[in-house]
């Protein structure tokens, strides 16, 4: 039985929770979660990969078991969340690592790669965009409108993303076998993002999401110059980040491995864990000389 260690570190005066498993001397694999989840989304992936890797999965500030300082006390932007993650990895002596990013984890991971390109040995992106391709308009148009002009007219459609029905939808849409998805996932996420004051935290991050798009040209240049090994494993039925978002990586990384998983949605690990873990093992073995 694999031991998963549940730990805390103090970063910039904030208590940051992370899950860790595997030998300390093994190659590091950092898992960065998305909205509205936490490192809990990796609860089964961490032990599945810990035989080969030192797996580190933090909760971003405002999520899961990490501190959630009020929005007026912490600047909730993707730059700031990347700062916290970068400092946490430095404390943990993870100087080189492979990245797994999903949803919000992607723009955090992209910032880490741009700041320290020599640190990132390989990337697995699971429904985590790096291109304009794949943004499903029905989901994203209200977010762009809110980012451009936050106010009483644009906030309600975005605030609706914090509702139980919307979070349940994130887990179940496009999934061919919804009975495999644990209902605790959306119940826990809904409870945590709706803690007192956390609605303003989440609205801050939704408002800041548009800032990630301006990062894309630099990111594409990084891909072209570094040719970092990349696996895009994607729930083919995701109605948030559509499959064109996965295919787009091949433009700048012609050797990228693109895997569209039929019957998978946004939270692919809930319904297709073995498929994702299998692709990851194959990919990371193939690029093992650089990891």
Q: How would DSSP label each residue in 227-251?
A: ---EEEEEETT-SSB-THHHHTHHH
Torsion angles phi and psi, residue 236, rounded to 5: -65, -20
Position 291 scores a pLDDT of 57
The whole-number pLDDT of residue 287 equals: 86
Catalytic residue among 33, 60, 266, 272: 266
- Mean pLDDT, rounded, for 231-240: 98
**pLDDT of 251 strictly over 80:** yes
CA distance 57 to 283: 20
Reported as a pLDDT band with limits 50, 70 and 90, residue 289 is very low
Of residues 240 and 285, more confidence is placed in 240
pLDDT digit string, tens, across residues 14-39: 999 999 999 999 999 999 999 999 99
User: pLDDT per residue over 66-77, tens digit each?
Assistant: 999 999 999 999
- Does the pTM surpass 0.75? The reply is yes
- Assess whether pLDDT exceeds 80 at residue 245: yes
Is the separation of the CB atoms in 155 and 146 below 8 Å? yes
Tell me 51's DSSP state.
Answer: T
- Contact in structure between 14 and 88 (CB atoms under 8 Å): no
Write the pLDDT tens digit of every residue in 140-198. Answer: 999 999 999 999 999 999 999 999 999 999 999 999 999 999 999 999 999 999 999 99
Going by pLDDT thresholds of 50, 70 and 90, the confidence category of residue 286 is: confident
Question: How does strand 14-21 pair with strand 5-11?
Answer: antiparallel
Q: Output the CA torsion 110→85→269→281 (10° steps).
A: 70
Q: Is 14 a catalytic residue?
A: no
Report the chain's mean pLDDT, rounded to a whole number.
97
Task: Using pLDDT thresholds of 50, 70 and 90, give the confidence band for residue 290.
Answer: low
According to DSSP, the β-strands at 28-32 and 54-58 are parallel
pLDDT at 201 > cutoff 50: yes
Checking if the pLDDT of 199 tops 70, the result is yes
**pLDDT tens column, 84-118:** 999 999 999 999 999 999 999 999 999 999 999 99
Tokens of 189: 């996420």
- The secondary element (H helix, E strand) that includes residue 103 is none
């Amino acid at each position: 039985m694999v031991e998963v260690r549940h730990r805390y570190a103090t970063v910039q005066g904030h208590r940051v929770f992370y899950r860790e498993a595997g030998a300390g001397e093994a190659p590091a694999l950092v898992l960065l979660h998305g909205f509205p989840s936490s490192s809990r989304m990796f609860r089964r992936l961490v032990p599945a990969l810990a035989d080969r890797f030192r797996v580190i999965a933090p909760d971003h500030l405002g999520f899961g078991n990490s501190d959630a300082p009020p929005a007026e006390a912490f600047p909730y932007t993707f730059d700031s969340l990347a700062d916290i993650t970068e400092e946490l990895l430095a404390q943990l002596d993870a100087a080189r690592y492979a990245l797994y990013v999903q949803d919000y984890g992607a723009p955090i991971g992209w910032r880490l790669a741009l700041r320290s390109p020599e640190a990132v040995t390989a990337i697995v992106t699971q429904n985590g965009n790096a291109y304009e391709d794949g943004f499903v308009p029905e989901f994203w148009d209200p977010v762009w409108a809110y980012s451009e002009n936050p106010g009483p007219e644009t906030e309600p459609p975005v605030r609706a993303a914090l509702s139980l029905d919307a979070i349940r939808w994130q887990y179940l849409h496009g999934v061919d076998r919804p009975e495999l998805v644990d209902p605790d996932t959306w119940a826990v996420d809904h409870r945590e993002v709706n803690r007192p004051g956390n609605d303003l935290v989440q609205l801050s991050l939704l408002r800041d999401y548009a800032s990630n798009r301006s990062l894309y040209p630099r990111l594409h240049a990084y891909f072209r110059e570094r040719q970092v090994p990349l696996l895009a494993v994607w729930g083919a039925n995701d109605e948030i980040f559509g499959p064109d978002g996965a295919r787009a990586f091949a433009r700048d990384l012609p050797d990228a491995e693109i895997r569209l998983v039929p019957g998978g949605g946004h939270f692919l690990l809930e319904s297709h864990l073995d498929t994702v873990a299998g692709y990851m093992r194959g990919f990371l073995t193939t690029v093992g000389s650089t990891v």
